[in-house]
Structure 1
Amino acid sequence: MKLRTAAGLAGCLMATVAAGQNPQPAGAPKAGDTRALEAGAKLLQGNAPLAGFDIYLNGFHPMKDHPEMQVEAHHFCRQVNEDFAQCALFDGNTRTANLNGIEYIISEKLYGRLPPDERQYWHPHNGEILGGQLIAPGLPEAAEHALMKKKMNSYGKTWHVWNTGANGKPGDALPLGAPMLAWSFGRDGELLPNMLEERDTRMKVHTGEKRKSRADLKPLAHPQGGVDALKGKFPRQTQDIPGVVDSQPPPAVK
Protein backbone atom coordinates (compact mmCIF):
# COMPACT_ATOMS: atom_id res chain seq x y z
CA MET A 1 0.00 0.00 0.00
CA LYS A 2 1.29 3.48 -0.85
CA LEU A 3 -0.18 6.28 1.23
CA ARG A 4 1.55 8.96 -0.77
CA THR A 5 0.94 10.78 -4.02
CA ALA A 6 4.44 11.42 -5.34
CA ALA A 7 6.28 8.38 -6.66
CA GLY A 8 9.72 8.00 -5.18
CA LEU A 9 9.06 10.41 -2.33
CA ALA A 10 10.06 7.89 0.30
CA GLY A 11 13.27 7.05 -1.54
CA CYS A 12 14.27 10.70 -1.54
CA LEU A 13 13.70 11.09 2.19
CA MET A 14 14.47 7.76 3.88
CA ALA A 15 14.81 4.03 3.49
CA THR A 16 11.78 1.80 3.44
CA VAL A 17 11.19 -0.93 5.97
CA ALA A 18 10.25 -4.56 5.48
CA ALA A 19 6.60 -5.51 5.38
CA GLY A 20 5.23 -7.65 8.17
CA GLN A 21 7.21 -5.72 10.77
CA ASN A 22 6.32 -2.71 12.86
CA PRO A 23 8.79 -0.21 11.39
CA GLN A 24 10.95 1.77 13.74
CA PRO A 25 10.13 5.40 12.86
CA ALA A 26 13.02 7.47 11.54
CA GLY A 27 14.87 9.45 14.20
CA ALA A 28 17.50 9.27 16.91
CA PRO A 29 17.06 7.05 20.00
CA LYS A 30 15.42 8.67 23.03
CA ALA A 31 17.81 10.74 25.11
CA GLY A 32 18.07 10.36 28.88
CA ASP A 33 16.28 13.62 29.60
CA THR A 34 13.42 12.60 27.27
CA ARG A 35 12.95 9.38 29.24
CA ALA A 36 13.00 11.35 32.49
CA LEU A 37 10.30 13.69 31.18
CA GLU A 38 8.21 10.68 30.15
CA ALA A 39 8.49 9.17 33.61
CA GLY A 40 7.43 12.41 35.24
CA ALA A 41 4.52 12.85 32.87
CA LYS A 42 3.33 9.31 33.58
CA LEU A 43 3.23 10.05 37.30
CA LEU A 44 1.73 13.52 37.14
CA GLN A 45 -0.37 13.91 34.01
CA GLY A 46 -2.47 10.79 33.43
CA ASN A 47 -4.02 9.66 30.15
CA ALA A 48 -7.74 10.11 30.68
CA PRO A 49 -8.72 10.49 26.98
CA LEU A 50 -7.08 7.15 26.18
CA ALA A 51 -8.40 5.19 29.12
CA GLY A 52 -11.69 4.29 27.45
CA PHE A 53 -10.18 2.77 24.30
CA ASP A 54 -10.72 -0.75 25.55
CA ILE A 55 -12.55 -2.55 22.71
CA TYR A 56 -10.15 -4.38 20.39
CA LEU A 57 -11.29 -5.29 16.88
CA ASN A 58 -9.25 -6.83 14.09
CA GLY A 59 -10.19 -6.68 10.42
CA PHE A 60 -9.06 -5.67 6.94
CA HIS A 61 -9.34 -2.52 4.85
CA PRO A 62 -8.95 -1.91 1.11
CA MET A 63 -8.31 1.65 0.01
CA LYS A 64 -11.43 2.88 -1.78
CA ASP A 65 -9.61 4.41 -4.74
CA HIS A 66 -6.99 1.62 -4.88
CA PRO A 67 -8.78 -1.59 -3.80
CA GLU A 68 -5.72 -3.83 -4.25
CA MET A 69 -3.98 -1.80 -1.54
CA GLN A 70 -5.13 -3.81 1.49
CA VAL A 71 -4.08 -3.75 5.14
CA GLU A 72 -4.84 -5.60 8.33
CA ALA A 73 -6.14 -3.08 10.86
CA HIS A 74 -5.97 -3.37 14.63
CA HIS A 75 -8.74 -1.16 16.05
CA PHE A 76 -8.69 0.04 19.65
CA CYS A 77 -12.04 1.67 20.20
CA ARG A 78 -14.04 3.72 22.67
CA GLN A 79 -17.81 3.27 22.57
CA VAL A 80 -18.97 6.84 23.24
CA ASN A 81 -22.68 5.99 23.22
CA GLU A 82 -25.00 3.44 21.61
CA ASP A 83 -24.69 5.10 18.20
CA PHE A 84 -21.09 6.33 18.02
CA ALA A 85 -17.62 4.87 18.58
CA GLN A 86 -14.16 6.14 17.77
CA CYS A 87 -11.10 3.99 17.13
CA ALA A 88 -7.35 4.42 16.89
CA LEU A 89 -5.86 2.12 14.26
CA PHE A 90 -2.48 0.40 14.59
CA ASP A 91 -0.38 -1.92 12.45
CA GLY A 92 -0.12 -4.44 15.27
CA ASN A 93 -1.16 -5.15 18.84
CA THR A 94 2.17 -4.86 20.65
CA ARG A 95 3.91 -2.01 22.46
CA THR A 96 5.92 -1.25 19.30
CA ALA A 97 2.87 -0.99 17.02
CA ASN A 98 2.51 2.21 15.05
CA LEU A 99 -0.57 4.43 14.96
CA ASN A 100 -1.51 4.49 11.27
CA GLY A 101 -5.13 5.59 11.06
CA ILE A 102 -8.47 6.43 12.64
CA GLU A 103 -12.00 5.12 12.27
CA TYR A 104 -15.33 6.48 13.42
CA ILE A 105 -18.22 4.04 13.68
CA ILE A 106 -21.86 5.12 13.59
CA SER A 107 -25.19 3.34 13.76
CA GLU A 108 -27.63 2.96 10.90
CA LYS A 109 -29.73 5.68 12.56
CA LEU A 110 -26.93 8.25 12.42
CA TYR A 111 -25.96 7.22 8.88
CA GLY A 112 -29.53 7.97 7.82
CA ARG A 113 -29.09 11.55 9.02
CA LEU A 114 -25.97 12.19 6.93
CA PRO A 115 -26.20 14.46 3.89
CA PRO A 116 -26.06 12.43 0.66
CA ASP A 117 -22.65 13.89 -0.29
CA GLU A 118 -21.19 12.77 3.04
CA ARG A 119 -22.20 9.13 2.67
CA GLN A 120 -19.49 8.45 0.08
CA TYR A 121 -16.97 8.41 2.94
CA TRP A 122 -18.74 5.81 5.09
CA HIS A 123 -18.33 2.10 4.39
CA PRO A 124 -20.81 -0.62 5.44
CA HIS A 125 -19.95 -3.29 8.01
CA ASN A 126 -22.35 -6.16 7.34
CA GLY A 127 -19.99 -7.88 4.90
CA GLU A 128 -17.16 -7.89 7.45
CA ILE A 129 -19.40 -9.23 10.19
CA LEU A 130 -21.41 -11.86 8.31
CA GLY A 131 -18.32 -12.94 6.35
CA GLY A 132 -16.41 -13.57 9.58
CA GLN A 133 -13.51 -11.21 8.78
CA LEU A 134 -14.11 -8.82 11.67
CA ILE A 135 -13.11 -10.36 15.00
CA ALA A 136 -12.66 -9.28 18.62
CA PRO A 137 -9.51 -11.16 19.69
CA GLY A 138 -9.49 -12.54 23.20
CA LEU A 139 -13.21 -12.26 23.86
CA PRO A 140 -15.19 -15.41 24.64
CA GLU A 141 -17.34 -16.52 21.71
CA ALA A 142 -20.59 -15.41 23.35
CA ALA A 143 -19.24 -11.92 24.11
CA GLU A 144 -17.82 -11.52 20.61
CA HIS A 145 -21.13 -12.60 19.10
CA ALA A 146 -22.99 -10.03 21.21
CA LEU A 147 -20.56 -7.32 20.11
CA MET A 148 -20.98 -8.20 16.43
CA LYS A 149 -24.74 -8.15 16.84
CA LYS A 150 -24.44 -4.60 18.19
CA LYS A 151 -22.40 -3.58 15.12
CA MET A 152 -24.81 -5.00 12.53
CA ASN A 153 -25.92 -2.34 10.01
CA SER A 154 -23.29 0.12 11.25
CA TYR A 155 -20.91 2.19 9.13
CA GLY A 156 -17.30 3.33 9.44
CA LYS A 157 -15.36 6.35 8.21
CA THR A 158 -11.69 5.38 8.05
CA TRP A 159 -8.55 7.21 7.08
CA HIS A 160 -5.16 5.54 6.85
CA VAL A 161 -2.30 8.00 7.18
CA TRP A 162 0.85 5.85 7.21
CA ASN A 163 2.01 3.00 4.99
CA THR A 164 3.87 0.81 7.47
CA GLY A 165 4.02 -2.17 5.11
CA ALA A 166 1.52 -4.89 4.25
CA ASN A 167 1.22 -8.10 2.24
CA GLY A 168 4.91 -8.41 1.40
CA LYS A 169 5.33 -4.79 0.38
CA PRO A 170 7.67 -2.45 2.22
CA GLY A 171 6.49 0.46 4.30
CA ASP A 172 7.78 3.94 5.06
CA ALA A 173 9.76 5.08 8.07
CA LEU A 174 7.56 8.17 8.43
CA PRO A 175 3.93 8.98 7.51
CA LEU A 176 4.15 10.32 3.97
CA GLY A 177 1.68 11.73 1.47
CA ALA A 178 -2.04 12.31 1.68
CA PRO A 179 -4.39 10.25 3.87
CA MET A 180 -6.30 7.54 2.03
CA LEU A 181 -9.94 6.70 2.52
CA ALA A 182 -10.39 3.03 3.41
CA TRP A 183 -13.38 0.85 2.59
CA SER A 184 -14.76 -2.56 3.52
CA PHE A 185 -15.05 -5.89 1.72
CA GLY A 186 -18.60 -6.71 0.69
CA ARG A 187 -17.98 -9.93 -1.25
CA ASP A 188 -16.04 -13.14 -0.89
CA GLY A 189 -12.86 -13.09 -2.93
CA GLU A 190 -12.16 -9.37 -2.64
CA LEU A 191 -9.72 -9.74 0.25
CA LEU A 192 -6.38 -11.22 -0.77
CA PRO A 193 -6.60 -14.81 0.54
CA ASN A 194 -3.04 -14.95 1.84
CA MET A 195 -3.75 -12.01 4.16
CA LEU A 196 -6.71 -13.80 5.71
CA GLU A 197 -4.81 -17.06 6.10
CA GLU A 198 -1.84 -15.34 7.71
CA ARG A 199 -4.05 -13.48 10.19
CA ASP A 200 -6.03 -16.59 11.11
CA THR A 201 -2.86 -18.62 11.66
CA ARG A 202 -1.14 -15.94 13.72
CA MET A 203 -4.18 -15.17 15.87
CA LYS A 204 -5.39 -18.79 16.07
CA VAL A 205 -8.87 -18.06 14.71
CA HIS A 206 -10.91 -19.60 11.90
CA THR A 207 -12.82 -17.10 9.77
CA GLY A 208 -15.02 -19.85 8.34
CA GLU A 209 -16.13 -20.92 11.79
CA LYS A 210 -16.80 -17.31 12.75
CA ARG A 211 -18.98 -17.00 9.70
CA LYS A 212 -21.00 -20.10 10.58
CA SER A 213 -21.51 -18.93 14.15
CA ARG A 214 -22.95 -15.62 12.90
CA ALA A 215 -25.53 -17.12 10.56
CA ASP A 216 -28.24 -16.19 13.05
CA LEU A 217 -27.39 -12.49 12.50
CA LYS A 218 -28.34 -12.63 8.82
CA PRO A 219 -32.05 -11.83 9.45
CA LEU A 220 -30.93 -8.61 11.17
CA ALA A 221 -29.08 -7.36 8.08
CA HIS A 222 -30.57 -4.40 6.24
CA PRO A 223 -29.49 -3.25 2.77
CA GLN A 224 -26.55 -0.86 3.20
CA GLY A 225 -25.11 1.98 1.20
CA GLY A 226 -21.69 1.38 -0.30
CA VAL A 227 -21.83 -2.42 -0.58
CA ASP A 228 -21.39 -2.19 -4.36
CA ALA A 229 -18.82 0.64 -4.29
CA LEU A 230 -15.98 -1.75 -5.17
CA LYS A 231 -17.97 -4.23 -7.24
CA GLY A 232 -16.04 -5.31 -10.33
CA LYS A 233 -12.81 -3.59 -9.25
CA PHE A 234 -10.91 -6.77 -8.36
CA PRO A 235 -9.16 -9.08 -10.85
CA ARG A 236 -10.37 -12.15 -8.96
CA GLN A 237 -13.74 -13.84 -9.11
CA THR A 238 -16.00 -12.72 -6.29
CA GLN A 239 -19.22 -13.98 -4.79
CA ASP A 240 -22.00 -12.33 -2.85
CA ILE A 241 -22.16 -12.89 0.89
CA PRO A 242 -25.68 -14.00 1.86
CA GLY A 243 -27.50 -11.15 3.57
CA VAL A 244 -25.12 -8.43 2.33
CA VAL A 245 -27.07 -6.23 -0.08
CA ASP A 246 -26.58 -2.72 -1.42
CA SER A 247 -29.37 -0.31 -0.59
CA GLN A 248 -29.35 1.11 -4.10
CA PRO A 249 -31.15 -1.22 -6.54
CA PRO A 250 -29.39 -1.88 -9.86
CA PRO A 251 -30.50 0.32 -12.77
CA ALA A 252 -33.35 -0.97 -14.84
CA VAL A 253 -32.41 -2.74 -18.06
CA LYS A 254 -33.76 -0.87 -21.09
Structure 2
Amino acid sequence: MAATDRTAAEALGAAGEQIPPGKPMSIEQQMLDKGAQMLQSLKPIKQMKQHVCTFAMYSHDMSRQIETHHFATRLNQDFLQCAVYDSDDSTGRLIGVEYIISDRLFESLPPEERKLWHSHAYEIKSGLWITPRVPEMVVRPELENLTKTYGKFWCTWQTDRGDKLPMGPPALMMSPQPVNLGMVRPDLVLKRDDKYNISSDALKTARVEIAEPEWINPQADYWKQHGKGFAVDMVTTKMKKMTPFP
Protein backbone atom coordinates (compact mmCIF):
# COMPACT_ATOMS: atom_id res chain seq x y z
CA MET A 1 0.00 0.00 0.00
CA ALA A 2 1.38 3.40 -0.93
CA ALA A 3 2.15 5.77 1.92
CA THR A 4 -0.26 8.25 0.34
CA ASP A 5 -3.10 5.84 1.13
CA ARG A 6 -2.47 5.55 4.86
CA THR A 7 -5.38 6.90 6.82
CA ALA A 8 -5.33 9.70 9.33
CA ALA A 9 -6.23 7.16 12.02
CA GLU A 10 -2.83 5.60 11.44
CA ALA A 11 -1.28 9.04 11.77
CA LEU A 12 -2.91 11.45 14.20
CA GLY A 13 -6.61 10.76 14.01
CA ALA A 14 -9.36 12.85 12.45
CA ALA A 15 -8.72 16.59 12.48
CA GLY A 16 -11.18 18.57 14.53
CA GLU A 17 -9.50 21.94 14.08
CA GLN A 18 -8.37 24.07 11.19
CA ILE A 19 -4.93 24.53 12.72
CA PRO A 20 -2.32 21.94 13.74
CA PRO A 21 -2.01 20.94 17.39
CA GLY A 22 0.16 23.19 19.54
CA LYS A 23 0.23 25.97 22.11
CA PRO A 24 -1.13 29.44 21.26
CA MET A 25 1.46 31.95 20.05
CA SER A 26 3.25 33.59 22.96
CA ILE A 27 3.64 37.37 23.29
CA GLU A 28 7.40 36.94 22.91
CA GLN A 29 6.95 35.01 19.67
CA GLN A 30 4.57 37.62 18.29
CA MET A 31 7.05 40.38 19.12
CA LEU A 32 9.87 38.45 17.46
CA ASP A 33 7.78 37.94 14.32
CA LYS A 34 6.86 41.64 14.17
CA GLY A 35 10.49 42.68 14.62
CA ALA A 36 11.73 40.27 11.98
CA GLN A 37 9.04 41.46 9.57
CA MET A 38 10.28 45.03 9.97
CA LEU A 39 13.96 44.15 9.57
CA GLN A 40 13.90 41.46 6.89
CA SER A 41 13.15 41.96 3.20
CA LEU A 42 11.03 38.79 2.63
CA LYS A 43 11.65 39.43 -1.08
CA PRO A 44 10.48 36.04 -2.44
CA ILE A 45 7.14 36.31 -0.65
CA LYS A 46 6.60 39.88 -1.84
CA GLN A 47 6.88 38.65 -5.42
CA MET A 48 3.60 36.75 -5.08
CA LYS A 49 1.31 38.81 -7.29
CA GLN A 50 -1.74 36.64 -7.92
CA HIS A 51 -4.19 34.51 -5.96
CA VAL A 52 -5.86 31.75 -7.99
CA CYS A 53 -8.58 29.46 -6.66
CA THR A 54 -9.28 26.18 -8.41
CA PHE A 55 -9.62 22.45 -7.72
CA ALA A 56 -7.31 19.43 -7.82
CA MET A 57 -7.52 15.66 -7.54
CA TYR A 58 -5.07 13.09 -6.24
CA SER A 59 -3.33 11.20 -9.03
CA HIS A 60 -3.65 7.91 -7.14
CA ASP A 61 -7.30 8.50 -6.11
CA MET A 62 -9.35 10.77 -8.36
CA SER A 63 -12.35 10.51 -6.03
CA ARG A 64 -10.50 12.76 -3.58
CA GLN A 65 -11.02 16.33 -4.75
CA ILE A 66 -9.92 19.50 -2.99
CA GLU A 67 -10.29 23.26 -3.35
CA THR A 68 -6.88 24.89 -3.71
CA HIS A 69 -5.56 28.43 -3.35
CA HIS A 70 -2.43 29.23 -5.33
CA PHE A 71 -0.34 32.28 -4.51
CA ALA A 72 1.74 32.72 -7.63
CA THR A 73 5.08 34.31 -8.45
CA ARG A 74 5.94 34.76 -12.11
CA LEU A 75 9.70 34.42 -12.59
CA ASN A 76 9.44 35.04 -16.34
CA GLN A 77 6.90 34.71 -19.13
CA ASP A 78 7.38 30.94 -19.27
CA PHE A 79 7.54 29.99 -15.58
CA LEU A 80 5.42 30.50 -12.46
CA GLN A 81 5.87 29.03 -8.99
CA CYS A 82 2.94 28.74 -6.61
CA ALA A 83 2.62 28.21 -2.88
CA VAL A 84 -0.63 26.25 -2.49
CA TYR A 85 -2.89 26.66 0.55
CA ASP A 86 -6.16 25.02 1.55
CA SER A 87 -7.84 28.43 1.99
CA ASP A 88 -7.16 32.15 1.64
CA ASP A 89 -7.90 32.80 5.32
CA SER A 90 -5.19 33.93 7.75
CA THR A 91 -5.14 30.38 9.15
CA GLY A 92 -4.75 28.78 5.72
CA ARG A 93 -2.43 25.79 5.72
CA LEU A 94 0.41 25.43 3.22
CA ILE A 95 -0.42 22.13 1.54
CA GLY A 96 1.93 22.02 -1.43
CA VAL A 97 3.65 23.64 -4.34
CA GLU A 98 2.81 23.86 -8.04
CA TYR A 99 5.14 24.76 -10.88
CA ILE A 100 3.56 26.11 -14.06
CA ILE A 101 5.41 26.22 -17.37
CA SER A 102 4.62 27.33 -20.90
CA ASP A 103 3.92 24.87 -23.69
CA ARG A 104 7.33 25.77 -25.13
CA LEU A 105 9.12 24.60 -21.96
CA PHE A 106 6.89 21.56 -21.63
CA GLU A 107 7.89 20.33 -25.09
CA SER A 108 11.53 20.42 -23.96
CA LEU A 109 10.91 17.95 -21.10
CA PRO A 110 11.89 14.26 -21.33
CA PRO A 111 8.92 11.97 -22.14
CA GLU A 112 8.95 10.33 -18.68
CA GLU A 113 8.85 13.73 -16.97
CA ARG A 114 5.84 14.88 -19.01
CA LYS A 115 3.71 12.16 -17.40
CA LEU A 116 3.80 14.05 -14.09
CA TRP A 117 2.28 17.23 -15.54
CA HIS A 118 -1.29 18.27 -16.28
CA SER A 119 -2.79 20.73 -18.76
CA HIS A 120 -4.77 23.82 -17.73
CA ALA A 121 -6.95 24.54 -20.78
CA TYR A 122 -10.13 22.84 -19.57
CA GLU A 123 -9.70 24.06 -16.00
CA ILE A 124 -9.70 27.66 -17.26
CA LYS A 125 -12.26 27.36 -20.07
CA SER A 126 -14.76 25.64 -17.75
CA GLY A 127 -14.71 28.50 -15.22
CA LEU A 128 -13.19 26.37 -12.45
CA TRP A 129 -10.00 28.45 -12.40
CA ILE A 130 -10.72 31.91 -10.95
CA THR A 131 -8.77 34.91 -9.73
CA PRO A 132 -10.89 35.98 -6.74
CA ARG A 133 -12.11 39.57 -6.67
CA VAL A 134 -10.28 40.53 -9.87
CA PRO A 135 -12.62 41.54 -12.73
CA GLU A 136 -12.71 39.06 -15.60
CA MET A 137 -11.78 41.72 -18.15
CA VAL A 138 -8.60 42.51 -16.19
CA VAL A 139 -7.44 38.91 -15.93
CA ARG A 140 -8.52 37.86 -19.45
CA PRO A 141 -5.07 38.28 -21.13
CA GLU A 142 -3.47 36.18 -18.39
CA LEU A 143 -6.11 33.46 -18.82
CA GLU A 144 -5.45 33.35 -22.55
CA ASN A 145 -1.78 32.68 -21.82
CA LEU A 146 -2.43 30.17 -19.06
CA THR A 147 -4.63 27.95 -21.24
CA LYS A 148 -1.44 26.93 -23.01
CA THR A 149 0.44 26.02 -19.82
CA TYR A 150 1.12 22.81 -17.90
CA GLY A 151 1.43 22.31 -14.14
CA LYS A 152 3.14 19.91 -11.75
CA PHE A 153 1.53 20.02 -8.30
CA TRP A 154 2.86 18.14 -5.28
CA CYS A 155 0.61 18.03 -2.20
CA THR A 156 2.65 17.79 1.00
CA TRP A 157 -0.19 17.98 3.56
CA GLN A 158 -3.32 15.90 2.97
CA THR A 159 -5.69 17.95 5.09
CA ASP A 160 -8.72 16.52 3.30
CA ARG A 161 -8.22 13.14 4.97
CA GLY A 162 -7.93 14.75 8.41
CA ASP A 163 -4.17 14.93 8.89
CA LYS A 164 -3.40 17.43 11.66
CA LEU A 165 0.24 17.55 10.59
CA PRO A 166 1.94 16.89 7.24
CA MET A 167 2.26 13.12 7.07
CA GLY A 168 4.11 10.80 4.71
CA PRO A 169 5.55 11.52 1.27
CA PRO A 170 4.11 14.10 -1.14
CA ALA A 171 1.22 13.18 -3.42
CA LEU A 172 1.03 14.11 -7.10
CA MET A 173 -2.08 16.09 -7.99
CA MET A 174 -3.97 16.36 -11.28
CA SER A 175 -6.31 18.95 -12.78
CA PRO A 176 -10.01 18.62 -13.68
CA GLN A 177 -10.66 17.35 -17.20
CA PRO A 178 -13.76 17.01 -19.43
CA VAL A 179 -14.35 13.31 -18.74
CA ASN A 180 -16.51 11.63 -16.13
CA LEU A 181 -13.68 10.69 -13.78
CA GLY A 182 -12.18 14.15 -14.00
CA MET A 183 -15.23 16.25 -13.19
CA VAL A 184 -15.27 18.25 -9.95
CA ARG A 185 -18.06 17.49 -7.49
CA PRO A 186 -20.87 20.09 -7.90
CA ASP A 187 -21.09 20.70 -4.15
CA LEU A 188 -17.44 21.79 -4.03
CA VAL A 189 -17.94 24.20 -6.91
CA LEU A 190 -21.15 25.62 -5.43
CA LYS A 191 -19.52 26.20 -2.05
CA ARG A 192 -16.60 28.02 -3.68
CA ASP A 193 -18.86 30.08 -5.94
CA ASP A 194 -21.05 31.14 -3.02
CA LYS A 195 -18.00 32.28 -1.07
CA TYR A 196 -16.84 34.61 -3.84
CA ASN A 197 -20.30 35.46 -5.18
CA ILE A 198 -19.54 34.17 -8.67
CA SER A 199 -20.95 31.61 -11.10
CA SER A 200 -18.56 29.11 -12.67
CA ASP A 201 -21.19 28.42 -15.34
CA ALA A 202 -21.36 32.12 -16.22
CA LEU A 203 -17.56 32.27 -16.41
CA LYS A 204 -17.59 29.24 -18.69
CA THR A 205 -19.95 31.05 -21.04
CA ALA A 206 -17.89 34.24 -20.91
CA ARG A 207 -14.71 32.33 -21.71
CA VAL A 208 -16.07 30.44 -24.70
CA GLU A 209 -14.12 32.72 -27.05
CA ILE A 210 -10.78 32.06 -25.35
CA ALA A 211 -8.90 30.08 -27.97
CA GLU A 212 -8.23 26.42 -27.34
CA PRO A 213 -4.53 25.51 -27.52
CA GLU A 214 -3.60 24.25 -30.97
CA TRP A 215 -1.88 21.29 -29.30
CA ILE A 216 -2.18 19.70 -25.89
CA ASN A 217 0.60 17.16 -25.61
CA PRO A 218 -0.98 13.70 -25.02
CA GLN A 219 1.87 12.78 -22.66
CA ALA A 220 0.40 15.23 -20.13
CA ASP A 221 -2.75 14.22 -18.21
CA TYR A 222 -1.34 10.69 -18.31
CA TRP A 223 -4.33 9.12 -16.58
CA LYS A 224 -6.70 10.21 -19.37
CA GLN A 225 -4.95 7.98 -21.90
CA HIS A 226 -3.90 5.15 -19.61
CA GLY A 227 -6.31 5.09 -16.66
CA LYS A 228 -3.38 5.02 -14.25
CA GLY A 229 -1.99 7.56 -11.79
CA PHE A 230 1.18 7.86 -9.76
CA ALA A 231 1.77 7.32 -6.04
CA VAL A 232 4.91 8.06 -4.04
CA ASP A 233 6.06 5.63 -1.36
CA MET A 234 8.98 5.57 1.07
CA VAL A 235 11.77 3.06 0.53
CA THR A 236 14.96 2.45 2.46
CA THR A 237 18.09 3.08 0.44
CA LYS A 238 21.81 3.02 1.01
CA MET A 239 23.26 6.47 1.74
CA LYS A 240 26.05 7.96 -0.32
CA LYS A 241 28.60 8.99 2.28
CA MET A 242 31.02 11.90 1.81
CA THR A 243 33.07 10.91 4.90
CA PRO A 244 33.30 7.82 7.12
CA PHE A 245 30.15 7.44 9.18
CA PRO A 246 29.68 4.98 12.06
TM-score clears 0.5: yes
Kindly provide the CA deviation profile for residues 155-192 of structure 1, in whole angstroms up to 9, marking residues without a partner as x.
00000111223xxxx52210111110000111155211
Unmatched segments (≥5 aa) in structure 2: 228-246
Match of 1:101 in 2: 96
Shift of 1:99: 0.6
State whether residues 49 and 73 of structure 2, in contact with CA within 8 Å, keep that contact through their aligned partners in structure 1. Answer: yes
Label 1:4 to 1:90 Cα distance change in 2 as closer, same or farther (>3 A). farther
Note the alpha carbon deviations across 1:190-241, whole angstroms, 9 max, x for none: 21111111111121111111111111113544333334624696xxxxxxxx
Correspondence for 2:67: 72
Identity %: 30
- Does the CA-based 8 Å contact 2:157-2:166 persist in structure 1? yes
CA deviations over 1:114-136 (Å, ceiling 9, x no partner)? 01110011100111011111111
Q: Indicate whether 1:119 and 2:114 are aligned.
A: yes
Equivalent residues in 2 for 1:154-233, closer than 5 Å: 154-165=149-160, 171-187=162-178, 189=180, 190-225=183-218, 226-227=220-221, 229-230=223-224
Give CA deviations for 1:13-56 in whole Å, capped at 9, x if unaligned. Answer: 534224xx7x2111122223222221221121131110011211
Taking the TM superposition and a 5 Å limit, the aligned residue runs for 1:54-93 are: 54-93=49-88
Equivalent position SS for 2:204: helix
Q: How many residues align?
A: 224
Query: Against the structure 1 CA distance between its residues 194 and 6, is the aligned structure 2 distance closer, same or farther, given a 3 Å change threshold?
Result: closer
Distance 1:7 1:118, change over 3 A: closer
Give the equivalent residue in structure 2 for 1:27.
22
Match of 1:16, SS state, is: coil
Q: Which residue of 1 aligns with 2:237?
A: none
8 Å CA contact 2:56, 2:174 repeated in 1: yes
Provide the C-alpha distance between the structure 1 equivalents of 2:11 and 2:4, rounded to a whole number of angstroms.
Answer: 14
Q: Which amino acid aligns with 1:229?
A: W
Match of 2:244 in 1: none
